[in-house]
Structure formats: structure tokens, C-alpha cells
Chains A and B, each alone.
Chain A
């Protein structure tokens, strides 16, 4: 009997298991495959030489008197060419934080506050600017705030005051609304003729849309936003035409299942057209898909865009028909796409995987047919030392994903779909293979002022000047393989500082961006002693040129340390190890040993960046030194959120300076690390002088500029400003503020800050009605900034409302985000047969990155 019961139980159990297997368990088990399996050799090869630390406090005291004699190097221009600098002789926050040695001068011998000022006094200094050099002045905008090149053309039509402006004469646009962000009035609003323009009497935006963010609890870390990133240096790679032997060259043909012959892949061409007006770029990207197969396909393409791109237009083009995509909640858009694909309709879906990685899907492309997808975005340009920079990334670098992580971006060989176990996958071509996909880039620049110099890192270009301030740049057809970032830099005339306000009005109210330019020369202020932590990514993707560049950079940085500094060198790949147990004084002996240690490092293994983060931030801070952590990495990881959250949790008093090393680095991660770390970012191209970049880095950290910045907006009623807190204005680095405002008259913005211990004010007269200082993209730029700020907050804040808030902003402004997607379906015709096969568009590994060490095969 017992035996029968036992057998029955077993059978029941089997039945249950079978049933469970049948009905439900479609859930995949977590894939624990790591993207890179190469053995970590870097740690094996380390000849770890722990320095014999002998802290020898230098009793020599270096007291700077320079401030006493050269204080007013920057001035605010008034109508009388005079400036009143009220010197409040109190220790500045900058000095207190950045120069802790001032409290112990006998030991560290650094600048003491009491050596500079007599506390308890207030001193008013009258300075005649005429006696100062041009470079030392801090000029402000007078008269209409320049929005370079923003002159409505004769054919343009403006809808609403400062509303939509069409300056190309083509059709489209909202009645009484505005192009780009696409709001229309919800009630009947008759047109009227005003000065030859069609305008609409629209109502202001709802109060809700203009609500203040005052209810939110803000973290100090949130104050750092995209445009605030202090870019130390840009890649200066020499443009070299791709040779036939370069990776990514050659001919690429794919062999499909059931097909005997090899045929090309579906993405034929990408066309990029950028228009730059002032510091705002409007970019149209057209991806041309083609089905070369004998059956229907779905094309899937994972591609990059700038991390601050505000994508607000998506159009699917079928022959001459243009179907505008609709912004929807992501899940809803994905469901619509799946259903349209299943039913045989031509459809396209654009989703965001990371702020700089997107997936384009086009379903039911019939044999021999073409489908184009047009994406439009706005973004603000970076500005460093008089140079503007326009970047268009061309390829997603192969990411490393830690074991057990499945939400990353996998890097797999062509045809190895699914082996990474990651939510998003990029298929890479082998060296010597080429997809047949090429790219054309044209950028029209209207700088508003004379363009003095143009550089294009990485690529061969042709350039044409229509006027001294108008430039057209074209990518050479000899250099059309999309395997490295397109980086266009141009230097504008003038050494004086100009702050520019750009506005946009529509039914929702006013939007603005204000670019605050820093003073150029502040070399009289000395830096505090540093605790320098150098962290080198020694993973497989860094093998070869990238790690060589990193080593050059660190070696140079070590040599530039000052006697009062301490330092540490940390390497990480699958794990982390370091030069010594604690930071050591920057003695010649220690520096020599560290250079030997760095020289022995090699690149191999995975990218467990979290280990590097822990090693760099998880030790006791020396309260007498300014801790500065420099990461040298390509940023090729899939778990960015985890890394950013770790930085937020562990940052403490540290500042993070991220150095992106390579031809196509993960700029999103590097920028975010620097923002969260309250530091700066620099990019070192493979043919750049690493020493030059490091020199710039030291130059930047040596001279703090305008600190404790506050703004009196005058008659502008400003709300929802990002960043929440205004960062310091450093030499060569502007700060871009964006927000919403009410008001429509002339006013003066007063920016106040401290230079050393001087209080200084910059006056910026603005005319809020000046249509020449308007740009239709400002509302999108503002909304994108808000989304970015909320998304950053979500990396360390478990507030469940954040995703919903991001989604609502994105939907209201028609913008791409992690929670929204663009969907376009052509419902007018159903294609025959099932939806065919899915073909991923393979891409080359970025220039300088080794396929063998980065791609799963």
C-alpha cells in the first residue's frame, strides 16, 4: 500500500511539474553570463611595489602675497567703465574647503587666509578698468542679448509671440502653437494678421505646467547637470582616412537562414544634418533601411546619440509618404508595435536603452523596399576655452556587464543573438568586415561672431565659409565608416566674456537658457594640497592604445604633483588592487616607484568598475587635503546605474574627474560620473597628447574662479531652473542654466559671486521681447534637462513617483525618455505573409578597440 501511495505521489508530482512547465513558466532564468571571459592578466603582471612611506612634513611655508597685490583681475563693466568691488574680508567657502592647509600652515606650507586678508574689515576698491588688460576684464552683454545668427528670414512665419518660427518656408506647424514641441491650443483660436505674420491668440500655459519645484527635496548632487560639466579637454585625434586594413573596412555580406547566397544588411546609410545657431544644435538624422532579402524582415539597429539630445520628432518615410510618429508610454508603444508587426503593418519603434543608446526597430519591410526613419533632436553644445564642440557619436562601444546582470548592453559577434543574456544587444563585425552602412554628416554653423579656427577630431572634413561667422562642414566621403565619434570644434573670436540669454515663448509660458561665461584669467589664486587618487581601467577593452594613453596620462600627472600632495594609484579589471595601502606623499622616490607600477599595468579581463569605485572612495579622507579621484576609462560597461548610485553613496568629500580614453567612449557614463562627483570630464583620443590633456587638467584645478554664485533675475520671475544650485564658474568653463520665466520687458540680471575673497557682480541687460534672442528648441532643452535631472535622482532615490514624473514631462513635451517611445504605424496597407525574420544591424567595434577582448563570440 505504501508503495502505491509513493508511486501515486511521484506521478502527481510529475503531473504538477509538467503542468507548471506547460502553463506558465515562460520567465527566463537570470543569465549569469559575463560579456567578457578573458582571464584577468593585468593583476598577474603587476609588479606591486608598495612604497615605503615616510611622511616628511615640509616645514617650508609658501605664503602667497599675490592676492594682496593683484586682486582685481576681473571687473564688472558699468556704463562709466568703473567698477565697485566690495571686498568682504571673510574666508571664502572655496578656501575653507579647497585649502584646508590654511589652518595648518606650519605643516603644509600653503596659502593661509589670514595672509591674504585682514578679517573683520570691509574694503571698497574703485578700479578703473581702462588700466587693466583686455584679458582680465569680465565683460557682460549690453543691449540685445546675442543669439547668434537668429534672424528670421523673409519667408519665415511666426505663430504667436516668439512662438513657432518657420524659417525654411515649408509647411507644417501648430496653429497658434509652436513647432518642435508641438502644443496646440485646445480651444478655438482665430488667426489674426500681425505685421504680415500669422499669429494666434493663445492662452498662457496652465498653472500646473508652470508649477515650481519648491516642494521637492533636492540633493546637492542634483545641482550638476549636463551643461555644467566642466570639460577639461577634448580628444584631438588626427583625422586619418580609414585604410583598407583598418577595422570596420572591407566588404560585409550576411548569409541568411534558408539562403544560399550572401546578401547585404538592411541599414544602408545614415544622413546627419546639423544646424548650429549660437550654442544650440538642431540635428536631423535619417536612417535609410532597405530589405535586400527575398522575404520580409524586421530591422533592429542599436545606435548612439548625444546623451543630452532632446529628441522630439520621429517620422517614418515610405516612398513619398511621411508618417509622423507618436510619443507614447514605452510599454504601450511596444505593445502597439508588436501588434502591428504581427498583423503585417509597416511600423517603426524608437526606444531609449540609455540616455545615449537607442534601439530602432522597423517591421515588415518587404523585399526590395526602402523605409527611412527621420529623427530630430536639439542639444546644447559644450564650450571650452573659446571653443564650441559639436559631437555626433557613430557607434556604441562594446559594454562589459557584470555576472548576474541582465539589464545591460551586451556585445556579441554577428549572428550570436542572445548569448550575452542582456536586455539589449549589439552585434559587432569582425576586424576586416564592413556592413556596407556608411554615413554622411553636414553641419551648418552660424556662430554669430567670426569663426577663427575649425578642427575636426577623428575625421576628414571639407569646410566652406559663406561669411566669417557662417561655416558649412561636410564629412569626406573617404571617411564615411561609422566607427568613431564625429567631433567638430570651432573657435569663435574674442577673448572677452559674453553671457547670452536665449528665450522662447509659447502657450505654456516663457523658457530660457542662460550661458554664463567665466572670467578668463584667474591665475593669481593658488590651489590647496591634493590627495590625488588615480584609477586606471585595466580591462580587456582598454588593451592596446587606450591603456597606453592612460598610462601616459597618469605618468604625466604623477610628475606634476607638488611636494605637499599625496597620491594613490588603483587599477581594476575583474578586481582592484593598488599601489600602496594608503595614499603616500608625493616624494620623488614614491613618484618614481608609482611610475614603475603604472608602467607594468596591462589591459585584460572584465570591467568591474564597482571595485575601482570602492577602492577609490572607501577610505578615510585626509581632512587637510582636497581629495581628487581621476578615473581613466573607456566606460564600456552596461551597469551604469549601479556605478552612478555607488558614486552617489560613497562620494563624501571627494571630487571625481573622469577621463574618457578612446575613440568612441561612453560619454554618458563619464559625464555623469563627473557631474555626480562634482568634478569634470576630459576626453583623450587615441592619437592625442595625453600629457597635454593632463596639463590642462592641472591648469583647471589650480585656479578656482567665481564661487558662491547667486543670481538676481530682475523683472524675470524665474521658476523650475536647472541646475537647482549654480556651480562655480571656472576659467574656460561656462555654466548653462535653463528654466521657465514670466515677464516680457527689459530688465537686468545681476550675477554675484566671489573671486577669492572678493565679491563680484556681473550685470547682464536683457530684452525679453527680443525675437533675435529666441530659439524654438529652448522648451525642449528645458524639458530634457528636467527629465535628466529626475533620471539622475532616480539612480539613488527610490521615490516611486519619479518614473511617473519623468514620463509625464516627456509626454507633455513630446520627448524621448526611458519611459516613453515613438511609434509610427502605416495602417493604410497590410503586407502579406507573416512578419518574416528579424535582422540585427551589425556595427564595427570602435576604432582602436580590440574585437577579440571585448566581443562575445
Chain B
């Protein structure tokens, strides 16, 4: 009789424990929000004006993002990784700026930067992108349009 009880208990343990463990892992996973990484490519269209300097601000109006890297643009004038404001970053928005004093400057639509993001949660973030200023080589403010493209 005793042997039977012992065997039953041991069998129960061997079955229940893995099940509980798996359940626990699943619980943990369900608690952890889904995390993914994606780039956000920033474009600036300065029309027929040469772009010598820019500053913009990015934040997620909805959804949770963390900025995990800032990369330079496609034109060689803005190839260098631009600088960001570390103080502003504390609130998970980013202020980025760059300038170039050379002669070869981009015109029209050009990718000025890529922001590498960690996106938390299933929801697609709603980005707010604001151009603070764009300027030409004479330091004059120029009209320009800033846009972004989501990468995968």
C-alpha cells in the first residue's frame, strides 16, 4: 500500500512540476511586453535649396519607444552620425541636429538620419516629427519638409 502511495506521489510530482514550470514561463512571457527593433528613416526635402544644417525633434505620441542608436544620412555631407541632446532623451524623445560647412550639399529629398528604435508592445507607435529649423550655407532659414519612413 505504502509503495503505491509513494509511486503515485512521485508520478504526480514528475507530471505536475514540468507543467507548472511551463505555465510559469508562459506567465512570465505574457507579462513581458513584446519587444522589437526597427529603424525610422528621416527624410528632409529642401526643394532646390542646398541643405547645410538642420534640427528636428522626434517622439512617440502613442506607443512606447526607446531610441537605441542614431545613424547618419545618405548624402556624404550628413554621413556622420548626428548629435543628440542627452537631456531631452530622458523623456524618450530625441532632438537631433547636424550641419556641414562644405560646398557639396544635398538638395531635394534626402535621408538625413536613421533613428534606431526599440518598440515595446504590439501597438504601432504614433510618431511626432517636428522640424525645428533647416538652413542653407549662408545660415539662412529655408523652407523644408521633414518626413519619415518606417523600416522593418
Contact = CB atoms under 8 A, between A and B. Distances in A.
Contacts of B99: 157, 159, 171-173, 175, 198
A188 interface: yes
B46 interface: no
Given A191-B135, A824-B68, A171 B88 contact: no
A173 B17 CA distance: 58
Contact of A828 (B98, B135, B141, B151): B151
A18 interface: yes
A326 interface: yes
A424 to B, nearest CB: 24
Interface stretch (A337-345, A488-496, A684-692): A337-345
A688 to B, nearest CB: 42
Contacts of A189: 55, 132-133
Contact of B71 (A172, A179, A322, A811): A322
Interface centre among B55, B78, B98, B102 (most CB of A within 10 A): B55
Given A339-B118, A827-B117, A828-B116, A172 B98 contact: yes
A75 to B, nearest CB: 46
B70 A324 contact: yes
B68 A193 contact: no
A336 B101 contact: no
Contact of B98 (A171, A187, A328, A823): A171
A324 B82 CA distance: 7
Interface of B: 2, 5-6, 9-10, 13, 17, 20-21, 24, 35-39, 52-55, 57, 66-72, 77-90, 95-102, 114, 116-118, 132-133, 135, 138-141, 151
Contacts of B17: 18-19, 22
28 contacts: A4-B2, A15-B9, A159-B99, A171-B99, A176-B97, A177-B83, A182-B83, A183-B86, A183-B87, A188-B132, A188-B133, A191-B139, A191-B140, A193-B138, A193-B139, A197-B139, A198-B53, A322-B79, A323-B71, A324-B84, A326-B84, A336-B118, A343-B37, A811-B89, A823-B68, A823-B69, A825-B37, A827-B39
A185 B85 CA distance: 8
Nearest to B137: A198
A174 B13 contact: no
B77 A171 contact: yes
A11 interface: yes
B139 A175 contact: no
Contacts of B89: 326-328, 811
Contacts of B101: 155, 157, 166, 169
Contacts of A171: 72, 77-80, 98-100, 102
Given A157-B99, A183-B86, A323 B53 contact: no
A11 B8 CA distance: 11
Interface stretch (A80-88, A313-321, A846-854): A313-321
Contacts of B79: 171, 320, 322
Interface centre among A199, A326, A830 (most CB of B within 10 A): A326
A177 B139 contact: no
Closest 4 CB pairs of A and B: A175-B55, A814-B86, A324-B81, A175-B97
A192 B139 CA distance: 6
Contacts, number: 201
A695 interface: no
A800 interface: no
A325 interface: yes
A253 interface: no
A184 B68 contact: no
Contacts of A825: 37, 68-69, 116, 118
Contacts of B82: 172, 324
Interface residues of A, number: 70
Given A159-B99, A188-B132, A316-B69, 13 more contacts: A4-B5, A11-B9, A18-B13, A169-B102, A171-B77, A182-B84, A322-B80, A324-B84, A325-B69, A326-B68, A326-B84, A811-B86, A824-B116
B133 A322 contact: no
Contacts of B95: 174, 184-186
A824 B97 contact: no
Chain A contact residues: over half helix, strand or loop, or mixed? Answer: mixed
A22 B20 contact: yes
A102 B100 CA distance: 67
A58 interface: no
Interface string A198-233: 110000000000000000000000000000000000
B83 A826 contact: no
A187 B56 CA distance: 10
Given A184-B95, A827-B117, A175 B133 contact: yes
Given A7-B6, A824-B68, A824-B69, A174 B83 contact: yes
Interface in A135-181: 155, 157, 159, 166, 169-177, 179, 181
B2 A182 contact: no
Contacts of B21: 22-23
A162 B10 CA distance: 77
A345 B55 CA distance: 28
A496 to B, nearest CB: 40
Interface string A812-823: 111000000001
A170 B139 CA distance: 16
A830 B36 CA distance: 11
A120 interface: no
Contacts of A466: none
A614 B23 CA distance: 54
Interface in A280-329: 315-316, 320-328
Nearest to B40: A827
Interface centre among A191, A316, A323, A827 (most CB of B within 10 A): A827
A190 interface: yes
A8 interface: yes
A182 B138 CA distance: 23
A199 B85 CA distance: 17
A421 B72 CA distance: 42
A331 to B, nearest CB: 13
A174 B88 CA distance: 13
Given A172-B81, A193-B140, A827-B151, A324 B132 contact: no
Contacts of A336: 66, 68, 118
A294 B102 CA distance: 43
Contacts of A188: 132-133
B116 A179 contact: no
Interface string A324-358: 11111000100010011001010100000000000
Nearest to A4: B2
A326 B53 CA distance: 22
Contacts of A157: 99, 101
Contacts of A176: 55, 97
Nearest to A156: B101
Contacts of B36: 343
A66 B135 CA distance: 69
Contacts of A326: 67-70, 84, 89
A524 B52 CA distance: 63
A170 to B, nearest CB: 6
Contacts of A830: 37
A828 B55 contact: no
B54 to A, nearest CB: 7
A172 B69 CA distance: 15
A322 B57 CA distance: 20
A184 B97 contact: yes
Given A15-B13, A192-B139, A321 B86 contact: no
Contact of B87 (A315, A316, A811): A811
A184 B84 contact: yes
A470 B100 CA distance: 28
B102 A175 contact: no
